[in-house]
Copies of this chain bind each other. A is one copy, B any other.
Amino acid sequence: MSREGVTPQSEDFSAWYNEVVIKAQLVDRGPVRGTMVIRPYGYRMWELLQTDLDRRIKEAGHDNASFPMFIPESYLRREAEHVEGFSPELAVVTHAGGKELEEPLVVRPTSETVIGEYMAKWIDSHRDLPLLLNQWANVVRWEMRPRMFLRTTEFLWQEGHTAHADEDDAMRETMWALDAYASLARELAAMPVVAGEKTPGERFAGAVRTYTIEGMMRDGRALQAGTSHYLGTNFAKAFEIQYQDEAGKLVPAHTTSWGMSTRMIGGVIMTHGDDKGLVLPPRLAPYQVVIVPIGRGEVAERTGEAARRLGAAIKSMGIRVHVDDNRPQLSPGFKFNDWEMRGVPVRLEIGPRDLDNGVVTLARRLPTADAQGKEAVPLDRVPELLPGILADFQAFLLARAEAFREDNTRPADSWADFAAQVPTGWSLAFHCGRTECEEEIKADTAATPRCIPAEGPAEEGRCVKCDQPSAYGKRVIFGRSY
């Protein structure tokens, strides 16, 4: 239970985030530095994301499977860029069963290598393609600057791994996954992410092309919330994932991989939260509605009974509701603040006078474009009104986040404009495409190319940093990132 408020977001965004994840009971710091305990209130959000994404994954023909988390060190070395990218972050098991192991085992940072090994075993002919696999798993990447949800030493994710006969089919898959992530972010998390390709300097270790969805957080920074990679034949060649084509010739498959993780929850927090704490989109809220009965003693019995009856009616409509009737030691005001801090979309207050008048006080977490924060609503109409109120609140959060992103995304045609924009938002700038130039920009401003937006209009210009011709036929989104 939270004993006090949080540092306002507007004062110190970083302190606000670190406090709210703990005080809202989403997580606790794990016993080992950089690890996290996901508490029921946070885990429920993960389950809601999982359920929706798993349905999309299965409907598109993928099968879930489970691969071991211990990978022989030698596997990682087979793809040169891959091992270079991940080596600094590995956790290594050297002893097991009371003995030193002959070959150290790494705890998977991602599973391209081990899954590649089995794809090679399972694929013989073109009839075995496409092979569409997914797994829900934990992975480990040792983090120097850990932050709950955003960068933790162990995190939960799904990783899709697929093999295809040719580049066209593999690219269709790569874009399917990107689109699934963008839809998930938009529809469930109310995050209006921008989808696009990463520049070569920002690609996944071992990929030919990397695509990303990027969300703008309320401090103007970007969060990469899901990535999809076309791996070409890099892993296919390293692991001999090959098939006999219709002419009987052995050819390497084209593979993809794509992942979405518990990081998405960090994105939800930073896209919608405000000075008071979390603001949760109804489709991801563990409790969409909380009912607080008011009064002490005999009055509490009356309002508590009404609250439980209303809760049952709301629950029967498939709405996630919680009745706060087991904390008599706390004042109503404390409870209101507590549920606001925890981001519950709709709070219903039932006092004795309300009951006499046949109404409840309905409080939205925020006033929306069309509705004020608090209003009195006839008690018996609450269940029928809630689905519309929750849907409106969900739509309002998406629209608000979209407007915020638009307001804080500006084209820059001079270095001065660029440098002025990236501390508080995104800059749309031309870039020469050279990784060294990206690195200079990062050293000067802490901003990196977030993506080449898929929907950006065709335009040519000169690099905002070095004045060479632009490389991508459109502007690139630059911003500071998590």
A47 contacts the other chain (CB 8 A): yes
Q: Which of the segments A59-67, A182-190, A208-216, A307-315 contacts the partner chain?
A: A59-67
Q: How many angstroms between the C-alpha atoms of A87 and B221 in the bound complex?
A: 46
Partner-binding segment picked from A24-32, A169-177, A273-281? A24-32
Query: Nearest Cβ distance between residue A231 and chain B, in whole angstroms?
Result: 20
| Closest residue of B by beta carbon distance from A32 | B70
Interface residues on A, range: 35 or more
Q: Give the residues from 68 to 121 in chain A that come closer than 8 angstroms, CB to CB, to chain B.
A: 68-72, 75, 87-98, 104-105, 107, 114, 117-118, 121
**Distance (Å) between the CB of A165 and the closest chain B CB?**
14
* Contact present for A43 and B68 (CB under 8 Å): no
A44 within 8 Å of B (CB atoms): yes
Query: Is B97 a contact of A95 with CB atoms below 8 Å?
Result: no
Distance in angstroms between the alpha carbons of A329 and B126 in the assembled complex: 13
How distant is A123 from chain B, measured CB to nearest CB, in Å? 11
Alpha-carbon distance A442/B257, docked complex (angstroms): 50
CB within 8 Å of B: which A13-68 residues: 28, 30-32, 35-40, 43-44, 46-47, 63-68
Give Cα distance in the complex from A92 to B105, angstroms: 10
A79 to chain B, nearest CB (A): 15
Q: Is residue A326 within 8 Å, beta carbon to beta carbon, of the partner chain?
A: yes
- Let me know if A230 is at the binding interface, CB within 8 A: no
Task: Given A72-B31, A95-B94, A105-B32, decide whether A66 and B88 contact each other with a Cβ distance below 8 A.
Answer: no
Contact B70 A142 (CB under 8 A): no
The docked-state distance in angstroms from the alpha carbon of A326 to that of B137 is 31
A156 part of interface (Cβ distance < 8 Å): yes
Kindly list chain B residues whose C-beta atoms are within 8 Å of the C-beta of A138. Answer: 69, 137-138
User: 10 closest Cβ contacts across the A-B interface?
Assistant: A40-B63, A97-B142, A35-B68, A91-B96, A38-B66, A30-B68, A92-B95, A96-B142, A94-B94, A32-B70
Mind listing 8 A-B residue pairs with CB under 8 Å? A40-B65, A44-B63, A47-B64, A69-B154, A70-B154, A89-B97, A93-B107, A96-B142
Query: Using a CB–CB distance below 8 Å, which chain A residues touch chain B?
Result: 28, 30-32, 35-40, 43-44, 46-47, 63-72, 75, 87-98, 104-105, 107, 114, 117-118, 121, 127, 133, 137-138, 140, 142-144, 153-154, 156, 326-327, 329
